[in-house]
Amino acid sequence: LEMEAALREALDRQEAGCPGEDAPFELHYQPQVRLKPNCLYRVEALIRWTHPRWGAVSPAEFIPLAEECGLIDRLDSWVLQTSVAQLGRWRAAGIPVPGLAVNVSAVRFARGDLPDQVRAALATNGIPANDLTLEITERLMMTEEVGVHDALDALHALGVTLSIDDFGTGYSSLGYLKRYPVGELKIDRSFVKELDIDAANRPLVRAIIQIGEALGLTVVAEGVEREAQHRMLEAEGCAIGQGYLFARPMPAATLVDWLAGEG
Ligand code: G
Ligand code: G
Ligand code: MN
Ligand code: NA
């Protein structure tokens, strides 16, 4: 309850335009890289909250809370608008960031205004819809709500890519892959974690990559921490990797330095 009040207050301050270093929320960006040839594919925006007394609070803690107490719409809207505006600023400054991925809570889809909000954010910042990916969870694909289905179709029609985050860990019905306009699968990091240690993981990862190939979906592996995992993913034909091996999530300004180093 204390955290709910703190979260509400932080959002109020953030939306009121709380400046720079005092802002409660910040976005970090983590590179997703094409494995062959090695180059930046896009960046994923990840929210960070620093509380004046508690310090850094993990999104794994406050995102579920925001979903429960009805604050997730405001939080995810702020993330969408701020990250798309950031992509616009990078490009205006001649910094070649090829694309952006944003996490959107399943709860957010229940409200019908998401496609309009996405369209507006892209238009305001001159970003083509093709350059935006929304990461959603398998849980969302299981709902039968007409509103959710319509929102997915409208986003697809706009040209936005829909990516299934944490693929393979949720409800294991695959039927939604043909019912919904999904463009991408993210192999959950639990499968990648012991890829080079426990032989049982490799056939699973291979199967996910083959599902992707069969359905024409891009496959992204998350949680790549070691060179051995990288080599196995490449050997299995995985297109994109994300993880500490390549880069950690970092503030927008640091990403510019990282890109210069990659140059
Ligand atoms: O970045 P980190 O590993 O701490 O994130 C933990 C979880 O929080 C991940 O599952 C991630 O998808 C989720 N998350 C991070 N940023 C956002 C966001 O802006 N919106 C939503 N809905 N989830 C986020
Ligand atoms: O569920 P989602 O894919 O949105 O989660 C992204 C989260 O994963 C981020 O919070 C990020 O901090 C974390 N992350 C990114 N790369 C790695 C990695 O290589 N290892 C681990 N353990 N976590 C990672
Ligand atoms: Mn994600
Ligand atoms: Na994930």
Tell me what pLDDT residue 226 has: 97
- CA of 222 from ligand 4 middle (Å) equals 7
DSSP 3-state of 122:
helix
CATH value of 30-46+74-249 in 3.40.50.2020, 3.20.20.450, 3.30.70.2170, 3.40.225.10: 3.20.20.450
Residues with CB under 5 A from ligand 3 (ion): 103, 135, 165
- Per-residue pLDDT in tens (0 to 9) along the chain, 263 residues: 899 999 999 999 998 887 677 899 999 999 999 999 999 999 999 999 999 999 999 999 999 999 999 999 999 999 999 999 999 999 999 999 999 999 999 888 878 899 999 999 999 999 999 999 999 988 888 777 888 889 999 999 999 999 999 998 876 678 888 888 999 999 999 999 999 999 999 999 999 999 999 999 999 999 999 999 999 999 999 999 999 999 999 999 999 999 999 85
Q: Which bin fits 38, alpha (ψ -120 to 50), beta or left (φ > 0)?
A: beta
Measured in degrees and rounded to the nearest 5, phi and psi for residue 189 equal -70, -15
DSSP 3-state of 43:
strand
- CA of 46 from ligand 1 middle (Å) equals 6
47 lines ligand 1 (CB under 6 A): yes
d(CA 99, CA 160) in angstroms, rounded, equals 11
- CA of 122 from ligand 3 middle (Å) equals 20
Tell me what pLDDT residue 52 has: 92
Residue nearest to atom 22 of ligand 2 (CA): 223
Q: Which residues neighbour 128 within 8 Å (Cβ) at sequence distance 6 or greater?
A: 122, 159
105 lines ligand 1 (CB under 6 A): yes
Q: Identity (one letter) of the amino acid at 137?
A: T
- CA of 188 from ligand 4 middle (Å) equals 5
Ligand nearest to the CA of 188: 4
Test site for ligand 1: of 63, 102, 136, 186, most ligand atoms within 8 A of the Cβ: 63
Tell me what pLDDT residue 175 has: 84
Kindly give the number of the ligand 2 atom that is closest to the alpha carbon of 166.
Answer: 1
Tell me what pLDDT residue 263 has: 59
Q: Which residues neighbour 252 within 8 Å (Cβ) at sequence distance 6 or greater?
A: 27, 29, 86, 90
Tell me what pLDDT residue 137 has: 87
Query: Among 99, 119, 111, 120, which Cα is nearest to 41's?
Result: 99
For the chain, the first-to-last Cα distance in angstroms comes to: 47
131 lines ligand 1 (CB under 6 A): no
Q: What is the pTM of this model?
A: 0.96
Query: Among 188, 243, 261, which Cα is nearest to 46's?
Result: 243
Within 13 Å of residue 119, how many CA atoms lie on the same side as its CB?
11
73 lines ligand 1 (CB under 6 A): no
For residue 100, count CB atoms less than 10 angstroms from its CB and return exposed for 0-12, middle for 13-18, buried for 19 or more.
buried
Residue nearest to atom 7 of ligand 1 (CA): 60
Tell me what pLDDT residue 19 has: 67
Give the number of other CB atoms < 10 A from CB of residue 110.
Answer: 15
Q: Are strands 100-103 and 184-187 parallel, antiparallel or unpaired?
A: unpaired
Domain ranges of the chain: 30-46+74-249
DSSP 3-state of 44:
strand
d(CA 242, CA 233) in angstroms, rounded, equals 11
H helical segments located in the chain: 2-15, 59-68, 72-92, 106-109, 114-125, 138-141, 146-158, 176-179, 189-193, 201-215, 227-235, 252-262
46 lines ligand 1 (CB under 6 A): yes
Kindly give the number of the ligand 2 atom that is closest to the alpha carbon of 30.
Answer: 15
